[in-house]
Amino acid sequence: QSVLTQPPSVSAAAGQKVTISCSGSSSNIGNNYVSWYQQLPGTAPKLLIYDNDKRPSGIPDRFSGSKSGTSATLGITGLQTGDEADYYCGTWDDSLGGHYVFGSGTKVTVL
């Protein structure tokens, strides 16, 4: 069972918007920056969002991140078929001497 809770799946029609929630606690999201990773089928994960809301070079602004308290959210607008993937949130957790934790992952389906 993951320390960070994400919905197993979300879906929307092409061109629409989806949001993915990531819920944690004071020892992880509440005290540290959140990052998001996209894993397309059969490929290695890719950094999508870091420091809660920053996009690496090459990531389109259709992807956005935010954080409030002990929760974070990934938003994807203008949904495309190429966005079908698994999405994971992650952050450092200060408990138990320190370790990194990932969310359980969310499968995005474009209808």
Partner 1 sequence: EVQLVESGGGLVQPGGSLRLSCGASGFAFRSYWMSWVRQAPGKGLEWVANINEDGRAIYYLGSVKGRFTISRDNAKNSLFLQMNSLRAEDTAKYSCTRDVQGRYKYHFEKWGQGTLVTVSS
Site size for partner 1, by CB under 8 A? 29
User: Could you say whether residue 92 binds partner 1 (CB under 8 A)?
Assistant: yes
Q: Please name the residue that has the structure tokens 């995005």.
A: 108
Least distance between partner 1 and beta carbon 13 (Å): 26
Q: Which of residues 23-62 bind partner 1 (CB under 8 A)?
A: 31-33, 35, 37, 39, 44-47, 50-51, 56
Q: Is 14 exposed, middle or buried (0-12, 13-18, 19+ CB in 10 A)?
A: exposed
- For residues 27 and 98, is the Cβ–Cβ distance under 8 A? no
Q: Does 104 bind partner 1 (CB under 8 A)?
A: yes
